[in-house]
Amino acid sequence: MTPRLAWNAYLAQARMELLLTTRRGENLLVTLIVPVALLVFLAQVPLLPAPAGESIRRIDELVPGILALAVISTGLVSLGIATAFERSSGVLKRLAGSPLPLWALVAAKATSVLATVALQLLLVTIAGWFLGWDPQGGVPAALLAAAPWLILGTLAFAGLGLLLAGSLRAETVLALANGLYLACLLVGGVVVPLERLPALVAVPASILPPALLADLLRGTLVPGGEVVPLEAMALAVWALALAALAARSFRVSDEG
């Protein structure tokens, strides 16, 4: 296949991936509606303790955590479950036997993930702004500063989603991805900062991607926050390791 034909194949597959994404109502609920609804709910209903420090408002602390949750929902839940059912139904096996290059299929899925994350960021940012979120330097500058952590987080959780989808049955991936999402929400340091969780939970969670991503976003976006270089290195290692494991172990069908 010539480079031009391969490029056209990628564009066609990317359009198909985006179209399929818009047709998965349950995935759109998790990726687009739940993060925004959770942000609005937690900002209005003080279920969580007030942030430590008089200069930190509740909304300042909530937005970074919800952004992290949005990335998790796209890479782990949406991509992982959708790919697992494509694999179980034989779609991936047929695509692998078609003229579509493997890189074009992967790039098309990556395009869909990035487009979804961009839309999530827009929706969460708009909701946060209406709720009073106004970071120093303005919202565009704040998101630009947070972009490296959002990219690494997307890579890490997309890698985890594909790792599960390429090695487990679809029903198992469905249960496991949703269970991990719930764990991230409740005890992963995403919405509730680790310092407010019991040490028995906080210590092991602190070295895992959900807490690393949320802490880096808070360090960047919360007034007076500070990015810990060791956390940035750890998230980068997780992102590369999960992507490499997914690429190495992925199978297009249960038969291999």
Which pLDDT tens digit goes with each residue over 181-203? 999 998 899 988 888 888 999 99
pLDDT reading at 54 higher than 60 = no
Where does the pLDDT of residue 55 fall: very low under 50, low under 70, confident under 90, or very high at 90 and above?
Answer: low
pLDDT reading at 50 higher than 70 = no
pLDDT at 47: 67
Where does the pLDDT of residue 66 fall: very low under 50, low under 70, confident under 90, or very high at 90 and above?
Answer: very high
Mean pLDDT in residue range 155-182: 93
Mean pLDDT in residue range 215-234: 93
Flag the least confident range among 96-105, 219-228, 229-238. 96-105
Q: Which pLDDT tens digit goes with each residue over 12-28? A: 889 998 998 888 887 88
Q: Rounded to whole angstroms, what are the CA distances from 152 to 56, 57, 68?
A: 26, 27, 11
Mean pLDDT in residue range 145-166: 94
What's the mean per-residue pLDDT of the chain? 88
pLDDT at 77: 92
Domain range summary for the chain, segments of one domain joined by +: 3-249
Closest CA to 184 of 166, 211, 153: 211
Mean pLDDT in residue range 101-110: 82
pLDDT at 116: 92
C-alpha triplet 201, 203, 208: angle, nearest 5°: 90
Q: Find out whether 159 and 239 touch, Cβ atoms under 8 Å.
A: yes
Radius of gyration of the chain (CA): 19
pLDDT reading at 174 higher than 90 = yes
194 alpha-carbon distance from chain centroid: 19
pLDDT at 256: 47
Phi-psi region of 198 (alpha: psi -120 to 50; beta: other; left: phi over 0): beta
